Structure 1
Amino acid sequence: MRGRRGLRAVAAATALLCAAALAGCSAGGPEAAAPTPRPGQTPVWNSSPASVAAVGDSITRAFDACSVLADCPEVSWATGTDSTVNSLALRLLGPAGVAGKSWNLARSGARMAELPEQMAAAAAERPELVTVMMGANDACRPRPEQMTPVEEFRASFTAALGRLRAGAPKAQVYVSSVPDLHRLWETGRVSPTGRQVWSLGICGAMLADPEDLGPAAERRRARVRERVVAYNGVLREVCAKDVRCRYDGGAVFGFAFEGRQLSPWDFFHPSRDGQARLAEIAYRQVTRK
């Protein structure tokens, strides 16, 4: 949008967003510190950021990637130091940079309601890039009716961007789509070990009774997938309102994880190989001109 009409439209859209979210919007909204560039201005997005902070959940903590029931942040797709994974931070900053200019602030088990606090912690580090991968746990509840409502998800994500902008107005944000949990079910359900582990209660809304192909079970899984699609719509829409935010366009959601790319202990979280694939996707998105 250009000129006064465009600025008025941005202000109106921001006001509506703040009203809907009821939280997280500082004066002027998340866009206030990062206005849309005008023709002739230097592009806002920097494809070579010099520092990286990661927020999110167990995927970013690389839970179950190295050993059972344990985080393994050294193989995290976002900030890991393992050369076989070749994390986003390792590609952007090199080994020395990862040690001193990257921070993994994610927490296993976190849901979107926690993201504002994580973003505030990220802002305190003044990073040039913040990676976000959050939302799988909002859908992975014991039963579908316990999934986070879409508007609550939207309010929390909007508030999170507001917290970041309050403390680090020029930080760039890379937002990963939520993985396709239905595809993970399709991949892991063929493993007897995977089915046994899932019976302990992992992501019950999607993974309970994995061999049941009856109408009720299929409707339950479809309901969870629809919610993930809705979450990704929220991530796309809210991110699009901030000129320093880049959504992955559904790249992670569309990625077809194979058996070797899932944890051998839970057949759900990414393995080292899966983490490496996430790092590749992120690097392509962040460095895209």
Structure 2
Amino acid sequence: MRKQRRRRSRALVGAVAVTAVLGVAGCDVIGGSPSGPDAGRTRASRAVQVWNRSPASIAAVGDSITRGFDACTVLSDCPEVSWATGTSDQVDSLAVRLLGRAKAADHSWNYAETGARMADLPGQMADAAVRRPQLVTVMAGANDACRSSVRAMTSVADFRAQFEDAMDTLRKALPKTQVYVASVPNLKRLWSEGRTNPLGKQIWKLGICPSMLGDADDLTSAATLRRDRVQQRVEDYNKVLKAVCAKDRRCRFDGGAVYEYRFGTDQLSHWDWFHPSTDGQSRLAAIAYRTITAKDPVT
């Protein structure tokens, strides 16, 4: 009887030990792949614990939107009103919202370039990594669709490869830096809003996004098809941004919020009626801030 009791006792202790080990493995926020009905909640919890909603420094990469192009004067950058790193009181940029006005100027850096396409992003990422920011913001892709013609647009496959290259460049230098990725804006809506302004249409003739904005008043089936093809490419780019970002647990996509935002004339530059105005820049900052500070990532 005593031997039988000892064997049952040892078996019970062993079972408890195994259960404890499995329980710890299932709750570890770094390792383990729990299964069962709570698996999804555990994975979501792991992502939340990894994400820091209060980064202490910011670097921005991207194109003319992040440079504040045409927001202050015609055909000129105006980085002080940038949605990402600007210091202007008119915008209340992401840097100001996250870091406070006193620290924003010294702890945020803007490496975006007017005219940049996704192919330029790896180089910008390399430059940004030197600063060792805790957060990098990405807004790129509009210029890949805004080409001289539909045929000249960046292919979806190349766009994906270039974005993956940019993320790899950052990760090799800064494995734990967080990334916020904004969706490409709805270019067709910008055309629809801006074409109501005669001055804007004259500026468009200087070469702003000809694939979408060229012959702005042409409503023939050929012109409509051209704009629809540009719009479809933008939507395909956004699918790429979402998919690539989803593979990195320290990356958050805006869920299409910038694409879906209904820019009106107040949010568009009164120089070219296409790029964001200071008010539009402020709206972009608000979208980014909501995404970055949210408890859970947008799915």
Alignment length, in residue pairs?
260
C-alpha contact 1:37 1:44 (8 A) present in aligned 2: no
Percent of residue pairs identical: 62
Partner of residue 71 from structure 1, selected from 74, 77, 80:
77
Structure-1 residue corresponding to 2:200: 194
Matched, 1:107 2:113: yes
C-alpha contact 2:201 2:272 (8 A) present in aligned 1: no
C-alpha contact 1:62 1:71 (8 A) present in aligned 2: yes
- Structure 2 matches for 1:44-63, cutoff 5 A? 44-63=50-69
- Structure 2 matches for 1:77-88, cutoff 5 A? 77-88=83-94
- Secondary structure of 2:274's partner? coil
Structure 1 residue 200: Cα displacement:
2.2
- Aligned residues: CA RMSD: 1.9
Point out the structure with max Rg over C-alpha: 2
Matched, 1:116 2:122: yes
Runs of 4 or more off by more than 2 Å in structure 1?
1-6, 36-42
Matched, 1:229 2:235: yes
Residues 137 and 48 (structure 1), Cα distance of their counterparts in 2 relative to 1, 3 Å cut: same
Partner amino acid, structure 2, of 1:275: Q
Partner amino acid, structure 2, of 1:128: Q
- Secondary structure of 1:115's partner? helix
Partner amino acid, structure 1, of 2:200: G
State how far apart, in whole Å, the 2-side matches of 1:169 and 1:285 are: 21
Measured against aligned partners, the alpha-carbon deviations of 1:3-44 in whole angstroms (never above 9, x if no partner) come to 4699xxxxxxxxxxxxxxxxxxxxxxxxxxxxx979679711
TM-score after normalising by structure 2 = 0.83
State how far apart, in whole Å, the 1-side matches of 2:85 and 2:198 are: 33
Structure-1 residue corresponding to 2:95: 89
Structure-1 residue corresponding to 2:171: 165
- Structure 2 matches for 1:173-184, cutoff 5 A? 173-184=179-190
Structure-2 residue corresponding to 1:220: 226
State how far apart, in whole Å, the 1-side matches of 2:34 and 2:211 are: 46
| Unaligned runs of at least 5 residues, structure 1 | 7-35
State how far apart, in whole Å, the 1-side matches of 2:48 and 2:64 are: 36
TM-score after normalising by structure 1 = 0.86
C-alpha contact 2:183 2:259 (8 A) present in aligned 1: yes
State how far apart, in whole Å, the 2-side matches of 1:204 and 1:255 are: 22
Structure-1 residue corresponding to 2:268: 262
State how far apart, in whole Å, the 2-side matches of 1:271 and 1:190 are: 16
| Unaligned runs of at least 5 residues, structure 2 | 1-25, 36-41
Structure 1 residue 178: Cα displacement:
0.2
Measured against aligned partners, the alpha-carbon deviations of 1:24-68 in whole angstroms (never above 9, x if no partner) come to xxxxxxxxxxxx979679711111110000000000000111111
C-alpha contact 1:119 1:164 (8 A) present in aligned 2: yes
Matched, 1:128 2:134: yes
